[in-house]
């Protein structure tokens, strides 16, 4: 039986920023891990290049949900540039993520970066 850290279990059982959408989102990103079928979708609202708010939808295992919850908790309040610099290793360290679940952190980071790229492309379109 796998033993997960208390913080990982807390993020799984009480995910932060989970939701179906974010009114006024300025960036949406999705990532899919084909091997296990996990999917993460992140909605961001960025104001003055600060991640003002974020929501996510995730289907998959408990660690995948926990990783996305923890990542958004770290990203909200940061500049978009700083949020883009967050890594799977940052999430793994905070959640004490087992190595065999490292792909869950990578998936969350990929979805976040895709949402940030979507925001940037929308901003270019407004110029």
Q: What is the mean pLDDT of each run of 10 residues along the chain (127 residues)?
A: 87 93 92 90 96 95 95 97 98 96 96 97 76
Per-residue model confidence (pLDDT) at position 41: 97
pTM for the model stands at: 0.93
Q: Which residue bears the tokens 């492309």? A: 121
Half-sphere exposure of 12 (CA within 13 A, CB side): 15
Q: Which fold has domain 6-126?
A: Sufe protein. Chain: A (3.90.1010)
CA–centroid distance for 2 within its chain: 23
- According to DSSP, residue 99 is labeled G
How far is it, in rounded angstroms, from Cα 19 to Cα 57?
6
How far is it, in rounded angstroms, from Cα 48 to Cα 32?
29
């Amino acid at each position: 039986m796998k033993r997960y850290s208390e913080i990982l279990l807390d993020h799984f059982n009480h995910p932060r920023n989970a939701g179906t959408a974010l009114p006024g989102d300025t960036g949406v990103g999705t990532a899919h891990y084909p091997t296990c079928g996990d999917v993460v979708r992140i909605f961001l609202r960025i104001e003055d290049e600060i991640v003002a708010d974020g929501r996510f939808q995730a289907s998959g295992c408990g660690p995948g949900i926990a990783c996305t919850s923890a990542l958004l908790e770290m990203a909200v309040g940061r500049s978009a540039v700083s949020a883009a610099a967050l890594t799977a290793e940052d999430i793994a360290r905070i959640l004490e993520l087992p190595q065999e679940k490292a792909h869950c952190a990578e998936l969350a980071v990929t979805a976040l970066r895709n949402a940030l790229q979507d925001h940037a492309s929308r901003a270019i379109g407004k110029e």
